[in-house]
Structure 1
Amino acid sequence: MTIFQQVSQDRSADEVAHQIEGLILEGVLRPGDQLPGERELATELGISRPVVREAIETLVASHILHRRQGDGTFVGDIIGQVFSDPIATLLPHHRKATHDYLEYRREVEGIAAGMAAERATGYDRDMLHQCIERMQSAHERQDFAEEAKVDLEFHSLIGEMAHNLVLLHTLRSCYKLLSEGIFQNRSRLYEKPGARQALFDQHMAIAGEIQAGNREAASKAARDHMSYVMEKSLELDNEAERERISSLRFKKREH
């Protein structure tokens, strides 16, 4: 099954490039995905290889696609950044930044979950079901790394299911900060007693309301989930600060 639509032979390379851009913008093609080879892509689009080659060259020049010598053509890392690099460097060192980041996500993910419940297609619901199955499997195996990975995919998928391009890419940009290690709260949360089960149950609740098409309930479940993450993150920060202060007192008295 191909994701590309055939175009008439008189179509230009610009129109082929536009179709590929649309697939990237809609989240069908993701950063790092490999495109079919020129011959295969020309067959799927129903046009000549020179037209495909010209379209790809245009997208490579725009940094939307990139080539790896001997490997092929891939979707570039085009997810935008909410913050510039200097600001992103400062964020981990200021506690308020973590709170504000989570607060922002709470409101935006509430909107996304509500839209997803209202707009999800059958394909969307199937993908959500598969994601939940993977999450449940990782949870039962106590595979913390896999569970955290699927956790991020779960939230990204809900952004896709909202079918709003600006919302999708805003959320992806936020999640990029997590994947790059700017905010580390989720891995720390898994270490807190009872947190893994609570997070898992909250994800199940969000998915259940989306699958049922309950907009308001899905939105509330998503906001409640992020409120929990905010609360526990604050507890962890406070615990870390108490540990820091007590260790300083201990070292002082040793001398």
Structure 2
Amino acid sequence: GFGRRFYHRGGLKTGPMDKKLKLLVDHEEDRGFRQRYGPVPEAPEERQKSMEEVWRDIEYEMTYDHEAEEGNFEEVGEFADRYNPDQKVTIIKPYPERKRHGASCEPDGQEHSYQIVGTWSRRFPQEMFRNHDGSWIFPIVLSENRWEEFYLIQDWDMKKRIYPFQERSFKSVPTIGPHDGGYSKMWFLDGRDRMDVPEEQVGMPGDKYLVTFRWTKLKELTWEKLEGDVGDVPQGQYYVS
């Protein structure tokens, strides 16, 4: 049969092809040239993902169970590689209805309690208080070192951790869980006077901060300094190594 001939690149963008490059076979085959097919269609505009979609993707990737996912595929068979006949290739395909092995961002509609686990309490879980708007709050008193680390758990279950997507995270970042993982990832409330600490967050030992956790569609954890409100300073811990 006739082979394809590529001798004019660029299409309409580079103008018509020089007549001296036309071949008799093109006329004999009645081969259509680019002009026959109208203008080049506009490329579809790429849709930007919403913040909600981005947060969902992050949580799904971080809670994905690779071992459980192995059960979502069936083996089609073992075949010789097309380009290397001595090598065998196993072909698998996903089941039509696959179980998703990542955590859902959606609340389950059940009643739950939430506890906060932080450095000021020597990482002993403390009950958060339910607010009238459905959020959960807890006041933190800044200790001698002027910074605190913490994460949340659900229903007093240490395997149901709620934590930020990266270590030493600021507030209002993608939040993961409840999930048995992320053991190095915690929120970091820094009250020290540093370049990367917002001015309104800088505090001294005894200053209070209100932590608020909300879960409507997305999980969100924030905090704010309670100006003029102070409490008993938690004692620091010191170790000799």
Larger radius of gyration: 2
TM range (shorter): under 0.3
If asked which structure has higher relative contact order (CA below 8 Å, sep 6+), I would say 1
TM-score scaled by length of structure 2: 0.20
Tell me which protein shows more helix as a share of its residues.
1
TM-score scaled by length of structure 1: 0.20
Tell me which protein shows more strand as a share of its residues.
2
